[in-house]
Amino acid sequence: MDRKKDRVDPESKLRDLLKQDCNSKCADCGGAKPRYASISLGIFLCNRCYGIHRSIGTHITRTKCVALDNWSTHEVVLMTSIGNAVASAYWEKNVPSGYSKPTSYSPDAVVEKWIRDKYERKLYCSPGLPPPPVTKQQQNSDHLGVDNSSSEGQFLNDDWTPFITANVGASFSTPNPSDNTEVWNPFSCDVIQSN
């Protein structure tokens, strides 16, 4: 069997992820057809929210265009492992009841405040759990200020599996980006090959 024939290119995987219900709308305002992503947060974004994320800075959120930028296998695996549903379960865990999240029709200032409160100020996140994704290599070197954006480390699913199961309602296993094995995404009917 020819492994090269069986591989799916990163852009194709990302397009498949965008077809899933949980990723077909912007993670922050619910706008239709997101075409951008925050690779550090694992979410898909509309054009406006992408611009807001860029203004926040790369120390909080690193962004890419799904169709125009080059994507590493590791980045695609991160997006496959997280996605909008898992990220929202973490970052919006403690949104006050009765709070109206902004929509695609909300004023820019309202959406920007929501995004900054959510990711920069961390007002609504789940306490006691690091934000997804954290790799073993990142956990060991973050305190040194090492940039692990290209890390190929194994994801820490031991901490995350109970959280995701309780808050997203699916059993979940995170992939090892260096494996050539298939990755099961709980938000997809399809199996996505990781490499």
Number of structural domains found in the chain: 1
Parent domain of 118: 3-193
**CATH code at position 81:** 1.10.220.150
pLDDT, tens digit, for every residue of 65-117? 999 999 998 899 889 989 999 999 999 999 999 999 999 999 999 999 999 99
pLDDT on residue 131: 78
DSSP one-letter string for 8-27: --HHHHHHHHHHSGGGSB-T
pLDDT, tens digit, for every residue of 107-153? 999 999 999 999 999 999 988 777 776 544 333 333 323 333 433 33
Mean pLDDT across the chain, nearest whole number?
75
- Residues whose CB falls within 8 Å of the CB of residue 65, separated by 6 or more in sequence, listed in order: 35, 36
Reported pTM: 0.69
**CA distances to 7, 8, 12, 62 from 15, in Å:** 15, 11, 5, 19
Residues 126 and 95: their CA atoms lie apart, in Å, by 10
